[in-house]
Structure formats: structure tokens, C-alpha cells
Amino acid sequence: MKNKIEFENHKDDLIKWIIDNNASWKTFISYCVNDLGQSQYHSNKLWNMCWDSISKIVESKNLIHATNLINRLEDIYTESNDDNIKLRVIEQLRKISGIDASDKVDVNMSGNVKLNWGNTL
């Protein structure tokens, strides 16, 4: 894999290798350097590109799972006559949507402190 075009052709194979071997960064780098003849710098770039793709796959699966969970909770809500169950469903939906999550606050302060210790001798 000398260039980006070759990498794109083998990207799926590398992603499959990472997943099949449950590979850490160190394992992947060793594989690329020793078995594929890549430099450590290029191997690290390959890792980052593969990991970006893996992250997108995981995010889409999590989104599908969350959507299925929301649909199931909505079904429970409409089928139930018990107000306690409906209240619990509403609480779960609020947690999933993040309505009850506190907003992160980024506080930065800067200032100057001047001290006057009196006259020096």
C-alpha cells in the first residue's frame, strides 16, 4: 500500500482485521510494520482512517438501537392503561433524548492580582 488509492482498495480488509483480531493500536501498528512493510508514521495514519470508519459504523448501529428502543417504549406507552408504567416510559424517553441531562458549562476566568507589601528598605 504505497498510496491512498491502494489503501482505499484494502480499507475494508484492514477494518475487518482490526475487528477480527480485536486489535489495539499497538497490535495494528506492529501488524502494518512487520507484515505489510509500512512505516510507523503511515501505519498510524492507516489506524486513524480505519478507526474513523469503525466509529461511524458503531454510531449508526447505536442510532438504530436507540430508534428501536424508542419505538418499543412508545408502543408500551400506548398499550398500557397503568399510569405508573406510562410515567416510567416518559422518564426513559426523557433520559434517551437528554432532556434531563444538565448542560455542560465551560467557565473560564482570568484576572490580575496586585499585591502591595509596603515600602522596601
- Per residue in 54-100, pLDDT (tens digit) is 888 888 887 788 788 888 888 888 888 888 877 888 887 777 766 66
> What pLDDT score does 2 carry?
56
pLDDT at residue 83, as a whole number = 81
Residue 36: all three cell numbers together: 505489510
In a domain, 106, yes or no: no
Whether residue 55 is contained in a domain is answered as: yes
More confident residue, 2 or 92: 92
What would the mean pLDDT of 7-22 be, rounded to a whole number? 82
The answer as to whether 81 is a domain residue is yes
Q: What is the dihedral of CA 70, 74, 75, 81, to 10 degrees?
A: 140
In Å, what is the CA distance from 18 to each residue of 47, 53, 54, 118? 9, 11, 9, 67
Residue 77 is assigned to a structural domain of this protein: yes
Q: What is the pLDDT of residue 31?
A: 92
pLDDT for residue 30: 92
pLDDT attached to residue 111: 77
Q: Is residue 68 part of a domain?
A: yes
**Residue that is written with C-alpha cell 509500512 in the block:** 38
* Domains contained in the chain, number: 1
Closest Cα partner for 9 from 40, 48, 49?
49
118, amino acid identity: G
Of these ranges, 25-34, 66-75, 105-114, the one predicted with the greatest mean pLDDT is 25-34
Higher-scoring residue by pLDDT: 44, 85: 44
Q: Are 103 and 90 in contact (CB under 8 A)?
A: no
Q: What is the pLDDT of residue 34?
A: 92
User: Residue 21: inside a domain, yes or no?
Assistant: yes
As a whole number of angstroms, the distance between CA 46 and CA 67 comes to: 32
Could you give the C-alpha distances from 77 to 42, 64, 67, 91, in angstroms and in order? 52, 20, 15, 11
Inter-residue contact 85 to 76 (CB < 8 Å): yes
Contact 23, 59 (CB under 8 A): no
Q: Tell me which residue range forms the domain holding 93.
A: 4-97
Task: Evaluate whether residue 113 is within a structural domain.
Answer: no
**Is the residue at 60 inside a domain?**
yes
